[in-house]
Structure 1
Amino acid sequence: MTTHFRVIFTTCADVSEARSMAEQLVKMKLAACVNILPNIESVYMWQGDVSYATECKLIIKTKSEKMNEVFQTIKQLHSYDVPEIQVIDVATGNLAYFNWMDEVLN
């Protein structure tokens, strides 16, 4: 069973930015739900150096047709020069949850 739902990941610098972005995505009906995982440790290369940061991970649940709007909203609201935006196709899951997502995102 292939669905038309997607999970989008991004990170934010802090909980305040994460909450603000999550709220905007939900209010704009671009996301049915956004989970915020605070205090994740990130290790990454930036401008030739290994960098360390404590960030928040956002897990954004949406429909495939709303992905471009989600991307644009993340880029507009984000404090990072190059925000993480990664997408996972949802292959299957709880039909009742998908029905709820359809209802919320219409």
Structure 2
Amino acid sequence: MTTQFKLIFTTCKDEAEARMLARALVEKKLAACVNILPNVGAIYMWEGEIAEAIEAKLLIKTKSDKMNDVFLTIKAMHSYEVPEIQVIDVATGNLAYFNWMDEVLN
């Protein structure tokens, strides 16, 4: 089952890249809002080695019909070879916020 509203997560190498990507998504009307969480620690496996980094996490608020364009924009602008893109269906929430998202993203 899919819902109309989506929350997409990605990470960026730093806050500057996160701000650039967030601004592009909002300017293109692909996201109503993007929250940036700076200084998020990450421990992960890359090319057979355990790596650590301090990244910026993005919480991208969008709609289902914008999702593929959000993916393409992330992939085109991102510095990572394999950027994180994870999607959560938004099942419920503040109707006034969803109405605002509809207005902004049309």
Question: Same fold by TM (over 0.5)?
Answer: yes
Which residue type is aligned with residue 80 of structure 1? Y
Give unpaired runs (5+ residues) of structure 1. Answer: none
Q: Contact (CA 8 Å) 1:30, 1:70: kept in 2 or not?
A: yes
Partner of 2:92: 92
Q: Does 1:20 align with 2:40?
A: no
Partner of 2:101: 101
The TM-score, its normalising length taken from structure 1, stands at 0.97
Q: Deviations over 1:80-106 (max 9, x none)?
A: 000000000000000000000000000
Residue pairs, 1:22-61, within 5 angstroms: 22-61=22-61
- State the number of aligned residues: 105
Counterpart Cα distance in 1 of 2:4 and 2:93: 12
Where 1:79 maps in the other structure, the secondary structure is coil
CA RMSD of aligned residues (A): 0.8
Counterpart Cα distance in 2 of 1:3 and 1:53: 33
Q: Deviations over 1:29-51 (max 9, x none)?
A: 00000000000000000000000
Counterpart Cα distance in 1 of 2:14 and 2:103: 30
Where 1:80 maps in the other structure, the secondary structure is coil
Identical pairs, percent = 71
TM-fit CA distance, 1:69? 0.1
